[in-house]
Amino acid sequence: MKKVMFVCKRNSCRSQMAEGFAKTIGTGKIEVTSSGLESSRVHPTAIQVMEEIGINITDQTSDPLSDFDANNYDAVISLCGCGVNLPQEWVLRDIFEDWELDDPDGQPLETFHRVRDEIKEKVEALIKKLEA
């Protein structure tokens, strides 16, 4: 089973939503973790917009990338354009993508919904790519 790391600056919104989608859509297909260049908290609005579509991310935690070993992952996905700031071993995985999605933190609820839906589409495409 392929292992995926979603990484973002603070691991509070985008990477948490991606982890939630990947765990739900990718059940039995991939293993998934998320982390941040720094850890913070799971954003309450990210929890809210995921709950609206039936995905509970309240048990997820915000963890620093430094807690993990790049060699344990097949795919690394940056959600915020932070790829340029990642240690080289993370960028050199079999699959590396930098999705550069807008940061919904501090934005209206509509932005959270838009970013959530963009993440869902990208996660679905990623799972298909990993299964190929």
Length of the chain: 132
Cα separation, 129 vs 114, in Å, equals 23
Answer whether residue 102 shows pLDDT above 90: yes
- Read off the pLDDT of each residue in 111-127 and give the average, rounded to a whole number: 98
Mean pLDDT score of the chain, rounded to an integer? Answer: 95
- Read off the pLDDT of each residue in 42-54 and give the average, rounded to a whole number: 97
Note the pLDDT of residue 94: 93
Residue 34, sorted as left (phi over 0), alpha (psi -120 to 50) or beta, turns out to be: beta
Six token digits for residue 69:
């070993």
The answer to whether 26 and 123 have CB atoms below 8 angstroms apart is yes
The domain total for the chain is 1
Helix, strand or coil, per DSSP, at residue 98: strand
Q: Which domain holds residue 14?
A: 2-131
Note the pLDDT of residue 82: 79
- Confidence tier at 28 by pLDDT (50, 70, 90): very high
CATH number at residue 107: 3.40.50.2300
What residues act catalytically? 8, 80
pTM for this one? Answer: 0.96
